[in-house]
């Protein structure tokens, strides 16, 4: 599992597997957010399979699917609501982690300045500097 911390409250990852859920719980995560649409890629575990594995490990599971590059206002608001309403560490995953860290940056659930959000993404290995021109503090 390639977990990339973005802040003390959120980490992102490329696709994880059902068997990773117990390890995530052991690492102190309390919730998982899937930002992949079901069936996006052959061999991808289904949302139902991932939800069942998460719940069996004692993790909350949220599905906020983002088709590549389509960050809608309802999805951004849903993501922000989950993050703000979850006391504890959250892991968000998609195919590469890029959609998740972009959604984190757009939703800004921790009310951080733009420069810090872009820096947090960079520290996690994602260059979101092109997004900065579209956002404001």
Q: 59-69: per-residue pLDDT in tens?
A: 999 999 998 77
Q: What percent of the chain has pLDDT over 70?
A: 98
Q: Give the containing element (helix H, strand E) for 93.
A: strand 89-93
State the average pLDDT over residues 76-102. 93
Residue 110 has pLDDT above 70, yes or no: yes
**Residue 85 pLDDT more than 80?**
yes
Residue 41: predicted pLDDT: 85
Q: Is the pTM of this model over 0.75?
A: yes
Distance from C-alpha of 83 to C-alpha of 106, rounded to nearest angstrom = 12
Is domain 4-134 in CATH 3.40.50.300, yes or no? no
CA–CA distance, 27 with 17 (Å, rounded to integer): 16
Give the pLDDT score at 136: 61
Is the confidence at residue 80, as pLDDT, over 60?
yes
Asked if residues 101 and 126 have their Cβ atoms less than 8 Å apart, the reply is: yes
């Amino acid at each position: 599992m390639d977990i990339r911390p973005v802040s003390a409250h959120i980490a992102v990852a490329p696709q994880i597997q059902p068997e990773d859920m117990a390890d995530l719980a052991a690492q102190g995560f309390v919730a998982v957010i899937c930002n992949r649409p079901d069936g996006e890629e052959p061999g991808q575990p289904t949302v139902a399979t991932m939800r069942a594995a998460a719940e069996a490990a004692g993790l909350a599971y949220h599905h906020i699917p983002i088709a590549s590059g389509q960050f809608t206002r309802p999805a951004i608001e849903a993501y922000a609501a989950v993050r703000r309403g979850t006391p504890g560490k959250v892991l968000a995953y998609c195919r590469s982690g890029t959609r998740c860290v972009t959604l984190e940056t757009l939703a800004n659930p921790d009310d951080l300045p733009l420069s810090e959000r872009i820096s947090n993404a960079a520290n996690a290995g994602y260059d979101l500097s092109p997004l900065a021109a579209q956002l404001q503090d």
